[in-house]
Amino acid sequence: MSVFTKRLDKRIAAYQNELIKTHYAEVQNMYNQMRGWRHDYRNHIQVMKSFASSGDWEAVVRYLDELDHDLTTVDTVIKTGNKMADAILNSKISLAKSKHIPVAADAHIPMELSTPELDLCVILGNLFDNAIEANLALPEEKRMIRLYMDMKNTQLYLSITNFTASKKLPKINGRFRSSKGGGHGFGLLRIDKIVERCGGYLNRNSEDGAFTTEILLPQ
């Protein structure tokens, strides 16, 4: 085995280990959320049982109205119309929020896609991972990730923007590089190869402390 092959294997192994850590953090965060919901559910039941036992049905109705309003205001689950995209987006958004990173998402996929779901998830997952990593270098009050997805004629348009610590990120040989080191550059490379294979368009731009990636995928 050549030295180059050994180095490549190590970089791929490092990248895969990082993916495992990220997925574990996502699953752990969603598990913690489920535990919180279960705890709250029991408390709500006990409060309403207390009202009911005293015959205060008006209080029960008021409490149910408050719960309904509360659920409406906190329901930030993304429903794009594509189950696989929903799964990866909700997982990543949950992870971002656990790290105190607000996410503003407007995502719609109103038709069946020709782009393989696995490819779409690789793109979305890597873009979110990079955006989360960049935000962690900022104070909490300056953190933000913005996502927009929709159809533009016969193409799926995807845009994700995150704030960065630098006003303008430098390019090396005409390309933006991952600042995370190790095997992290494989994420950007995978996105590039998928977009190229699908005959799509990709643009990355760094201006005024914000980094934006735009992608068009023919359908």
Question: Is the model more confident about 113 or about 81?
Answer: 113
Per-residue pLDDT tens digits for 75-111:
456 788 787 788 788 888 888 988 999 999 999 887 6
Give me the sign of the Cα torsion angle 22, 124, 103, 202: positive
Task: Give the model's pLDDT for residue 105.
Answer: 92
Class of residue 31 by CB neighbours under 10 A (exposed 0-12, middle 13-18, buried 19+): exposed
User: What is the per-residue pLDDT for 168?
Assistant: 63
> Domain residues of the chain, as ranges?
3-74, 83-218
pLDDT surpasses 50 at 182: no
Q: CA–CA distance from 81 to each of 37, 107, 113, 129, 150 (Å)?
A: 25, 9, 10, 22, 11
CATH for 83-218, options being 3.40.50.300, 3.30.70.260, 3.30.565.10, 3.40.50.11810: 3.30.565.10
- 136-153 pLDDT per residue, tens: 999 999 999 999 999 999
Query: At 188, is the pLDDT very low, low, confident or very high (cuts 50, 70, 90)?
Result: confident
Give the per-residue pLDDT at 117. 82
The 8-class DSSP code of residue 49 comes to: H
Question: What span, in angstroms and rounded, lies between the C-alpha atoms of 68 and 46?
Answer: 17
Q: What is the pLDDT of residues 30-68, one digit of tens each?
A: 656 666 667 777 788 888 888 899 999 998 898 888 877
In degrees to the nearest 10, what's the CA dihedral of 200, 203, 204, 208? Answer: -150
Q: What is the DSSP letter of 112?
A: -
